[in-house]
Structure 1
Amino acid sequence: MIAKTLFGFEDLLAKELQVLGAQEVEKGVRMVSFKGDKGFMYKANLALRTALKILKPIYYFRAYNENSLYKGIQGINWSDYMDVNQSFVIDVTLHSDHFNHSQFIALKTKDAIVDQFRNKFGKRPSIDKDFPDLRINVHIHNDQCSVALDTSGNSLHQRGYRTATNIAPINEVLAAGMLLHSGWDGQGDFLDPMCGSGTILAEAAMIACNIPPNLNRKEFAFEKWADWDNDLFEAIIDSLMKKVREFHYTIKGYDKAPSAVEKARDNIRNANLDDYITIARENFFDTEKDTQGPLHIVFNPPYGERLDIDMERFYREIGDTLKQGYPGTNAWFITANLEALKFVGLRPSRKIKLFNGKLESRLVKYEMYEGSKKAKFQQTAP
């Protein structure tokens, strides 16, 4: 099988798969391949935090023109995967000099499938782009064509808990990957000081408690398959829930906008995480650390793409607030405004290249020591 992910999350996803028990895990670009049975396919969809899709390849062939593509698709017995009265849709990923348009590939694939059914049964399945019974993925790289079934349906970042969003909501998979990159494991206090609709908070709580991220989804594509096994699916959920752990620290979110605070609280309630998370209306720049011991901060400040703010002043205030009010803190945030990082006034100890949608971004880490950094190293020196 193939798990698709975002750029920069391949190592995280491979580790997740290995911990879950996948076999033959191999990293690619924005994807990780692995082996597992039907139960593991269910488990991967429920439990992977950094996966966007789980694809199940069913056929490989070479396609270098319209005719070879048509013949290759007809080489699959589609009656094994859907009934003539069901519906399907085709998604195409194309990197080839032999073909120019993904829409053309989708059309020829559709023709090959419906022609096979019409020849066998005298009628054909229909196309449904919104609620198909079977979602088919065709991937062509040069002349290598892979046909896979999409086991997930809608992208796995659509967890099901977020019903209210703000102007620039962060993708749930991006939020989870940022948290994992930051080393967040639930062993301490956590703060998102610009929490927006609460996505980072929800993902942080699920990581801390080892709660499967996709429990709240309404459905997965495999639930419409002929071999759907509801009893096995329920057993997988039960086994995952037995691994949920207690959390003994605090997870807090701040936002200065009353509407954002209400949306975040609604989303946290939808995710059944309100026992773990508190959200308050606060301007981060007027706050200071209110917990003893280390504090882990992860947030998604405005980039200036959709919100009109004074970037120089805003990012300078981020640096000043961290420096003056948050000693003993590891602070991480993502930004696509790489120029604005110059105004933070602190040197990041790490920079990780990521993409927020199509925007090239950096996930940066600032280590705020108790006292001076020099004093910190003198204390820990042998």
Structure 2
Amino acid sequence: MDNNFKMVAKTLFGFEELLAKELRNLGAQEVKVGVRNVSFVGDKGFMYKANLGLRTAIKILKPLKTFRVVSEQDLYDKVKRIAWEKYLSESGSLAIDATVHSHIFTHSKYIALKSKDAIVDRFREVKGERPNIDLRFPDLKVNIHIDRQLCTVSLDSSGESLHRRGYKTATNIAPINEVLAAGLIMLSGWDGQSDFMDPMCGSGTVMIEAAMIACNIPPNLMRKEFAFERWQDWDVDLFEKIEESLLKKTRDFHHKIIGYDKSPSAVRKAQDNVKNAHLDEFIKIKHEDFFKTQKGGDKHLHMVFNPPYGERLDIDMEKFYADIGTTLKHGYPGTHAWFITSNLEALKHVGLRPSRKIKLFNAKLESRLVKYEMYAGSKKAKKQQLDS
């Protein structure tokens, strides 16, 4: 127990409860939900496990100190008091990022610069030498977070954002973030017990995340590096043991994951990414225009997709969304269809009543994740069948 410490996992708005559930399932202690973050307690091995195994986390931070700050000089003095030599050698390299929500401190880059000066000046005084700054591959990445007058200084254990899983080499216009894709699938309640479809699959992200969820494959197995691998207490044997324990929990998947896209180049990119992720035995992609298709067979189908919002593509959005509704209604009985959009005006033209609406953000765009339940036969007949 003495080796446990507090950590903070950052996530997207609307995914906090999903992330808390993931953390509990992995074995985290003292899980507390915040806004766009969840705090928890665990040891070093659990920090490795969280980075490897969480689908909806963007970063795992290890807080070092929290204190009140009233001025830039105050920040400098308090950051300088931290024993940085415990975490980094004077010949190592450093990067700092800052986020600020404060009327006193308004410029995050300046806060990062001031914190860097404090760390470097401490090294000069204590060691007579200072670490270099390396924004791309630092030995230590420090996160400074100021909320009004409360400053938290953390070590960033992840490095590059955890949405960069490592399987994507090719993307299209407006690709969906991997963490967002995983969260949408989890919010949709898909459990791998039916066929799955993405009818506008782009570069394949939604299907790949769905396959990893179905097979319980850790999402970040393919990443080249985590920031903690450069820490002074890096334990490669422990990491490999954690990796092995997660891999033992993978499971078989006995259904199909299908993707359509009407762009041949998107199909090729998706196929490349699926192959990179070693998931081609589960995922089949076809060059098809969704609006000209219909469902094959009468088994239940679970659909999740990310249609164009009109932000970067010049198409008639009202007609496009009306066509989504028509295709679902006439071509896809026995389907639960979920999709995300920020085009709330076009959404009104789908012509179907959603059974769920969840507010989310896709990057900075306020969006809705909507669910449409397509019944085989009429809804009334379905209800009578359930009641009898």
TM-score range, shorter chain: over 0.9
Cα separation, 2, equivalents of 1:186 and 1:73:
47
Match of 2:196 among 174, 190, 195: 190
Q: How far did 1:100 drift?
A: 2.0
Q: How many residues align?
A: 382
In the TM superposition, 1:119-134 aligns within 5 A as 119-134=125-140
Q: How far did 1:378 drift?
A: 1.1
In the TM superposition, 1:198-347 aligns within 5 A as 198-347=204-353
Letter matched to residue 158 of structure 2: S
Letter matched to residue 380 of structure 1: L
**Which shifted more, 203-212 or 141-150?**
141-150
Aligned sequence identity (%): 69
In the TM superposition, 1:150-169 aligns within 5 A as 150-169=156-175
Match of 2:49 among 37, 43, 50: 43
Q: How far did 1:291 drift?
A: 3.4
Structure 1 segments of 4+ aligned residues over 6 angstroms from their partners? none
CA contact (8 A) 1:62 1:72 kept: no
Letter matched to residue 269 of structure 1: K
Cα separation, 1, equivalents of 2:234 and 2:298:
50
Match of 2:122 among 116, 119, 124: 116
CA contact (8 A) 1:189 1:291 kept: no
Cα separation, 1, equivalents of 2:101 and 2:28:
28
Using structure 2 for the length normalisation, give the TM-score. 0.97
Q: How far did 1:381 drift?
A: 1.4
- For the residue of structure 1 that corresponds to 2:145, the secondary structure is strand
- Structure-2 residue corresponding to 1:363: 369
Q: How far did 1:107 drift?
A: 1.4
Q: How far did 1:157 drift?
A: 0.3
Where in structure 1 are there 5+ consecutive unaligned residues? none
1:318-377, Cα deviation, whole Å (9 max, x unpaired):
001000010000000011100011111100000001111111110000000111111111
Using structure 1 for the length normalisation, give the TM-score. 0.99
- Structure-2 residue corresponding to 1:138: 144
Letter matched to residue 321 of structure 2: Y
Cα separation, 2, equivalents of 1:139 and 1:100:
12
- For the residue of structure 2 that corresponds to 1:32, the secondary structure is strand
Cα separation, 1, equivalents of 2:102 and 2:348:
40
Cα separation, 2, equivalents of 1:104 and 1:285:
51
- For the residue of structure 2 that corresponds to 1:254, the secondary structure is strand
Match of 1:30 among 29, 36, 46: 36
Letter matched to residue 241 of structure 1: L
Letter matched to residue 162 of structure 2: L
Cα separation, 2, equivalents of 1:212 and 1:103:
34
- Structure-1 residue corresponding to 2:3: none
CA contact (8 A) 2:298 2:334 kept: no
Cα separation, 2, equivalents of 1:31 and 1:105:
21
- For the residue of structure 2 that corresponds to 1:339, the secondary structure is helix
